[in-house]
Amino acid sequence: MHLYPDYSLKAYNTFGLDAKASHFARLQKAEDLSPLLLHNYSPIFILGGGSNVLFVNNFEGLVIHNEIGGIAARQQLNGKVIVEAGGGVNWHQLVCWCLDHDLGGIENLSLIPGTAGAAPIQNIGAYGVELKDVFYELEAMDLETGKLHRFKKEDCDFAYRNSIFKQSLRGKVLITRILIELTSISHNINTSYGAIRDTLAEAGIKQPTIKDVSEAVIKIRTEKLPDPLKIGNAGSFFKNPEISQEQFEELRRRFPNIVHYPGSGGLIKVPAGWLIEQCGWKGYRSGAIGCYEKQALVLVNYGGGSGNEIWNLAQEIIASVEGKFGIQLNPEVNILG
């Protein structure tokens, strides 16, 4: 496989940052990975669509761009269908393929940027659905031994924007393909999110199909989030923090309008976007970088900004939210360098 030295990653990250990798390789077949590992490059970074990474500096190591393609489906005995996708398949193209074959389950995850192989890493989620809801199995290669392993759902420790691949297996495996289990009949239409219900109602749709739900999601997302092809960004920069009931009650005394939802294990989830907005950051701009005017959770590069500038802004935001609310924000985006 060809190795490119000193390679610009500008076209490979949705922030549009001009970071360089000291070595870069394209992986189109899983079999090509083992010979590459014999070179003992270190560190190695697996890159999909680059929609959830911030390159603060150049990357001194090997970046492997996952381009493993292919989508196939097989019928199950229970009337469901297993769809298998190569790790490098574009996620939204996979959603469209499933809709074209009338397979339901991932329509609420329409238009999420990135690759199928990265979807399990943070258990992608949107509009009431997470990858774990349809996940069947994945295959991943151990970057040390070159061996292929299968992971069932129970092996993945899926949680809110989290999995074993962000924890103990972080940077240790390359996901070569994923398998998801979808419905071919009796689709479970999920319109639990008010915005989806409102959009469908506006269009006069009373009995939505999976395609209708996908179109509603695409409409909402296009109106709310910046298109990375126009304004560099990586979607939500921070995770929504979860706090104890006690801390929440104390905060509610000081901020009666605090927005909140039930979190995991009895905790209370507070939207990071609301916290950031309350600290006055929404629409903030300094030179080429800033905080998106329509959604404070999204940090943006208007063009020509550096990873370092974005990371510095993120630190300032973390400090001001901590100072005002005593809540620690954690990045959802993978920070490199």
Ligand X SMILES: Cc1cc2nc3c(=O)[nH]c(=O)nc-3n(C[C@H](O)[C@H](O)[C@H](O)COP(=O)(O)OP(=O)(O)OC[C@H]3O[C@@H](n4cnc5c(N)ncnc54)[C@H](O)[C@@H]3O)c2cc1C
d(CA 196, CA 202): 10
> Taking CB under 6 A as the criterion, which residues in 10-49 touch ligand X?
14, 45-49
Among 16, 21, 30, 50, binds ligand X (CB under 6 A): 50
Among 113, 241, 273, 305, binds ligand X (CB under 6 A): 113
How far apart are CB 242 and ligand X at their closest, in Å? 16
Among all chains, which residue has been given the structure tokens 């929404």?
282
Among candidate residues 107, 236, 242, 306, the one labeled active-site is: 236
307 binds ligand X (CB under 6 A): no
Among 9, 99, 174, 299, binds ligand X (CB under 6 A): 174
Contact 56, 289 (CB under 8 A): no
Contact 174, 140 (CB under 8 A): yes
Please give the backbone phi and psi of residue 83, each rounded to the nearest 5 degrees, phi first.
-110, 130
Nearer of residues 55 and 284 to ligand X, judged by Cβ: 55
Single out the residue of 187, 222, 198 nearest to residue 106, CA to CA: 187
How far apart are CB 66 and ligand X at their closest, in Å? 4
Single out the residue of 120, 143, 146 nearest to residue 131, CA to CA: 120
Give pairs for 256-264: CB < 8 Å, separation 24+.
264/159, 264/160
Helix axes 210-224, 91-100, angle to 10 degrees: 150
How far apart are CB 186 and ligand X at their closest, in Å? 26
d(CA 310, CA 294): 18
> Taking CB under 6 A as the criterion, which residues in 215-234 touch ligand X?
225, 228, 233-234
Among 30, 56, 66, 251, binds ligand X (CB under 6 A): 66
Among 30, 83, 106, 118, binds ligand X (CB under 6 A): 118
Give the gyration radius of the chain's Cα atoms.
20
DSSP 116: T
Nearer of residues 230 and 252 to ligand X, judged by Cβ: 230
How far apart are CB 251 and ligand X at their closest, in Å? 26
178 binds ligand X (CB under 6 A): no
Backbone φ/ψ region at 78: left (φ over 0), alpha (ψ -120 to 50), beta: alpha
Among candidate residues 84, 161, 215, 306, the one labeled active-site is: 161
Catalytic residue flag (residue 332): yes
How far apart are CB 336 and ligand X at their closest, in Å? 8
Among 175, 179, 275, 300, binds ligand X (CB under 6 A): 175
d(CA 15, CA 61): 20
Locate 85 and state its tokens.
């996708």
Catalytic residue flag (residue 34): no
Catalytic residue flag (residue 150): no
Positions annotated as catalytic residues are: 161, 236, 332
Residues that bind ligand X (CB under 6 A): 14, 45-53, 66, 87, 112-115, 117-119, 121-122, 124-126, 173-175, 225, 228, 233-235, 334
